[in-house]
């Protein structure tokens, strides 16, 4: 699907017609958004801009030269957008191509950042006179969403911390949940660092208009604060994980201590019962006196073991 944002009598209009590109000039178009484009749409945009678009494989490469590059006429930016899920997060590669003030975006999933900017462009088109301003607006919106995501994760960490303090449901499954939250935190941090690299490259460029630099500087400061927050969250999760592991170990030690104590209590009576269970003549009269005497000896043995354990503070 293609969406063309173009200037129309002082306003921004939208067209989804591929043929409409032939009727527009380079000065008319601001943004071409390609959502899961087919070959015809890509070729039409390449012909209109007289340049080549990035492939999905190029968008997913991690080398610095592949993430951001400039030529005399175009700027190519490849970045990742984080998609939150019910349990785990995923990364989606998005490509931007800037040519003569026109921005072309290529994506394969619906992204809230794009929907928000598209609404803002229609409400107040003066804030987005060129594709450069559209790119900065998308990045700014994405950082705001990342900040909201980090805030929700912090609340989730608080919930887990309170459960640990109360000793509720602290088990292996709880430990796996913390591990998944750690993975999500690392993905958020990786996503924010990727935006920081992109903004640093833009600030070094002489092709972007000067009026967006002040906003980019503010965004960069926000990113630094988000990185500090994610580092703190990861440290909290690491501490929480160690605490849970310690509690699980203490519980297992307590169970083993009970089994060990029970085994030690039964060892003297078992020895006595084994001796008197032998098929030989023993120096005690027959009858019920044997049973009573054996039970008495067993009780004395158990009482002695308890006294020894308490004296050594093992109970």
Query: pLDDT by residue (tens digit) across 212-244?
Result: 888 888 888 888 888 888 888 888 888 887 877
Which residues span the domain enclosing 305? 256-311
DSSP assignment of 21-43 equals GGG--TTTEEEEEEES--HHHHH
pLDDT bin (cut points 50, 70, 90) of residue 56 is low
Q: Both 128 and 166 in a single domain?
A: yes
Q: Both 60 and 128 in a single domain?
A: yes
Buried b (16+ CB within 10 A) or exposed e, 100-124: ebbbbbbbeeebebbebbbeebeee
Per-residue confidence (pLDDT) for residue 178, from 0 to 100:
78
Name the domain boundary from 207, 228, 248. 248
pLDDT bin (cut points 50, 70, 90) of residue 182 is confident
Residue bearing the bigger pLDDT, 286 or 109 = 109
Q: Both 260 and 290 in a single domain?
A: yes
Q: What are 154-160's contacts with CB under 8 Å, separation 24+?
A: 154/229, 154/233, 156/181, 157/181, 157/233, 157/236, 157/237, 157/240, 160/240
Q: Both 66 and 181 in a single domain?
A: yes
DSSP assignment of 87-123 equals S--EEEEEEEEEETTEEEEEESS--HHHHHHHHHHHH
Q: Both 186 and 226 in a single domain?
A: yes
Q: Both 264 and 229 in a single domain?
A: no
CA nearest neighbour of 202 among 54, 68, 97 = 68
Q: Average pLDDT, whole number, for the chain? A: 79
Residue bearing the bigger pLDDT, 77 or 51 = 77
Q: Both 31 and 162 in a single domain?
A: yes
Per-residue confidence (pLDDT) for residue 254, from 0 to 100:
79
Q: Both 12 and 55 in a single domain?
A: yes
For the ranges 35-44, 74-83, 284-293, the lowest mean pLDDT is seen at: 284-293
Within 13 Å, how many C-alpha atoms sit on residue 127's CB side? 14
pLDDT tens, position by position, 7-42: 877 788 788 777 777 777 777 788 888 888 888 888
Q: Both 233 and 261 in a single domain?
A: no
Residue bearing the bigger pLDDT, 284 or 95 = 95
Contact 273, 302 (CB under 8 A): no
pLDDT bin (cut points 50, 70, 90) of residue 278 is low
pLDDT bin (cut points 50, 70, 90) of residue 314 is low
pLDDT bin (cut points 50, 70, 90) of residue 283 is low
Q: Both 109 and 44 in a single domain?
A: yes
Name the domain boundary from 248, 280, 298. 248
Per-residue confidence (pLDDT) for residue 280, from 0 to 100:
46
Q: Both 49 and 114 in a single domain?
A: yes
For the chain, the domain total comes to 2
CA nearest neighbour of 186 among 112, 111, 89, 94 = 89
Per-residue confidence (pLDDT) for residue 187, from 0 to 100:
85
pLDDT bin (cut points 50, 70, 90) of residue 286 is low
Mean pLDDT along residues 185-195: 85
pLDDT tens, position by position, 89-127: 778 888 888 888 888 888 888 888 888 888 888 888 788
Q: Both 128 and 220 in a single domain?
A: yes
């Amino acid at each position: 699907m293609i969406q063309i944002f173009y200037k129309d009598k002082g306003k921004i209009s939208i067209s989804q017609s591929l043929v409409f590109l032939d009727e527009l000039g380079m000065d008319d178009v601001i943004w071409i958004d390609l959502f899961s484009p087919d070959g015809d749409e890509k070729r039409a945009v390449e012909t209109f801009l007289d340049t080549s678009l990035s492939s999905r494989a190029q968008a997913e490469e991690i080398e610095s030269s592949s993430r951001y590059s400039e030529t005399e006429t175009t700027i190519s930016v490849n970045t990742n957008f984080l998609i939150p899920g019910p349990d785990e997060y995923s990364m989606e590669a998005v490509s931007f191509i800037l040519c003569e003030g026109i921005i072309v975006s290529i994506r394969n999933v619906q992204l809230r950042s794009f929907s928000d900017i598209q609404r803002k462009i229609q409400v107040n088109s003066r804030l987005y006179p060129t594709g450069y301003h559209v790119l900065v607006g998308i990045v700014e919106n994405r950082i705001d969403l990342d900040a909201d995501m980090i805030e929700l994760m912090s609340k989730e960490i608080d919930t887990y911390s309170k459960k640990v303090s109360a000793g509720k449901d602290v088990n292996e499954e709880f430990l796996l949940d913390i591990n998944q939250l750690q993975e999500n935190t690392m993905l958020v941090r990786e996503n924010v660092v990727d935006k920081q690299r992109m903004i640093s490259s833009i600030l070094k460029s002489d092709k972007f208009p000067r009026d967006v630099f002040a906003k980019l500087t503010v965004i960069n400061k926000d990113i630094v604060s988000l990185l500090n927050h994610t580092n703190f969250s990861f440290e909290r999760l690491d501490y929480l994980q160690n605490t849970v592991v310690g509690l699980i170990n203490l519980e297992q030690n307590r169970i083993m201590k009970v089994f060990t104590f029970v085994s030690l209590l039964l060892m003297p009576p078992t020895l006595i019962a084994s001796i008197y269970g032998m098929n030989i003549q023993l120096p005690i009269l027959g009858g019920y006196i044997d049973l009573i005497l054996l039970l008495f000896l067993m009780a004395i043995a158990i009482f002695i073991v308890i006294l020894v354990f308490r004296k050594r503070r093992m109970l």
